[in-house]
Amino acid sequence: VEITGFIIPSDVIISSNKKIPIHLSTVSNPAISVENNKAFLYLRVSSTGSPFSRTFIAFSETRINDLTGRVYVRGIPLIYGLLPNESIEDPRVDPDNPLDVYHVRCFYSDRPASVITFRSRIGGNEIKEIEPVYFYSNELGDFLLKDYRDTFPLNNDFMTIRPFLKHRQIGFMIIAPRDRARVYIDEAYLPEPLLLSNDEVKIGGNASLKISSNEYLLLYHVVDQHGIYYTYGALFDTSGELIALTDNPIIVPKLGVYSGRRQSTVFVCGAAKVGDEIIITAGRDDEIVIIYKLSEEKLWSNLRFIR
């Protein structure tokens, strides 16, 4: 991939609906959707003075051609936290329904944190609907998990989910059928080629992109024992079956790009297809946004088909 642009907090102008400016200390983990020549950005931001664990989601509209070099952004707060101990994190756009934005709500308190994913329907620069991603099994009926993030639609019929097992400190990725925000967990499966290896502690989805009429590119991360994120690609069909994957990372953190509050961390939350290129939007070091460009031809040449 090639770095083509970046966004830093001082270049983002955000004002509340009462026209009060909100000065930012971080801007990261951005989702993206495109329509014609416009790009719609969903940015995870935190105000100056607040810890990174108290973020919210801001929305900005810009031209695709402006996503190069030093990018200046003007936007509005879109998804707020409601409670003093609440953080809104990691937006993802539904690849088949771009007005559905999935995000994490974390509730930090003296008790163990609750981490729940929500679906928000966006219209007119505001939330029209909101519901948690919940699970159904024949035995339990509908229920919520206490700790799951990196959960968003793979396509119109399937969800990618990343539960976290605190007692073993590992996270893994599963694919399951869905009906909007309802996930049928009895039918979930774990793609065998995406299992953790001995020196890996977490695998989770980053963003899904419809790359052809019946194929979806899932960007996902693998975290090693040192906490460094590596971004890979996997190709799925409309029935949620794994078709191909990259053996080597698409994105690896590089020295000299930036040094922030969480070094060597690149976390992708967005991908969009523009012509024969793929725009990838990622947070860097939990502090800024990096915009990457990947040619579709190079992606196809690096995919290894397994069926």
Q: What pLDDT sits at residue 196?
A: 78
Query: In total, how many domains does the chain have?
Result: 1
Over residues 212-258, the pLDDT tens digits come to 999 999 999 999 989 999 999 999 999 999 999 999 999 999 999 99
- pLDDT tens-place string over residues 107-147: 887 677 788 999 999 998 899 999 999 999 999 999 998 88
Give the β-pairing of 134-137 and 182-184: parallel
Task: Select from 286, 270, 197 the least CA-distant residue to 42.
Answer: 270
Query: Which contiguous run of DSSP H or E holds residue 151?
Result: strand 148-153
**Coil/strand/helix, residue 266:** strand
**Mean pLDDT to the nearest integer, 90-112:** 91
- Domain coverage including residue 239: 2-305
CB 101 within 8 A of CB 77: no
CB distance 244 to 191 below 8 Å:
no
Q: Sheet harboring 100-107: ordered strands across?
A: 86-93, 100-107, 114-123, 126-132
Question: Which residue type is seen at 133?
Answer: V
Closest CA to 59 of 10, 16, 105: 16
CATH code for the domain of 11? 2.115.10.20
Structure tokens at 79: 């998804």
pLDDT at 70: 98
Put the strands of the sheet holding 24-35 in their side by side order: 21-22, 12-15, 73-79, 56-63, 38-47, 24-35
Bridge partners (DSSP) of residue 106 are 87, 115
Which residue, among 8, 13, 11, 124, has the nearest Cα to 76 in the 3D structure? 13
CB neighbours of residue 259 within 10 Å: 12
Q: In terms of Cα–Cα distance, which of 219, 227, 217 is closest to 268?
A: 219
Which residues, in sequence order, are CB contacts of 276 under 8 Å at separation 6+?
A: 295, 296, 297
Quote the percentage of the chain above a pLDDT of 70. Answer: 97
In one-letter notation, the amino acid at residue 46 is S
User: What secondary structure letter does DSSP report for 58?
Assistant: E
By CB neighbour count within 10 A (0-12 exposed, 13-18 middle, 19+ buried), where does 121 fall?
Answer: middle
Dihedrals φ, ψ of 287, to 5°? -140, -35
Give strand pairing partners of 88: 105
According to the model, what pLDDT value does residue 110 have? 65
pLDDT at 53: 73
Q: Using alpha carbons only, what angle is made at residue 266 by residues 88 and 97, rounded to the nearest 5 degrees? A: 55
Residues 173 and 188 sit within 8 Å (Cβ to Cβ): no
Q: Which amino acid is at 153?
A: P
Given pLDDT bands bounded at 50, 70 and 90, which one contains residue 199? confident
Tokens 């029209």 correspond to 128
Least confident of 63-77, 199-213, 290-304: 199-213
Residue 77, judged by CB atoms within 10 A of its CB (0-12, 13-18, 19+), counts as: middle
Q: Which of 84, 67, 129, 139 is nearest to 102 (CA)?
A: 129
Q: Give the pLDDT band of residue 172 (cuts 50, 70, 90).
A: confident
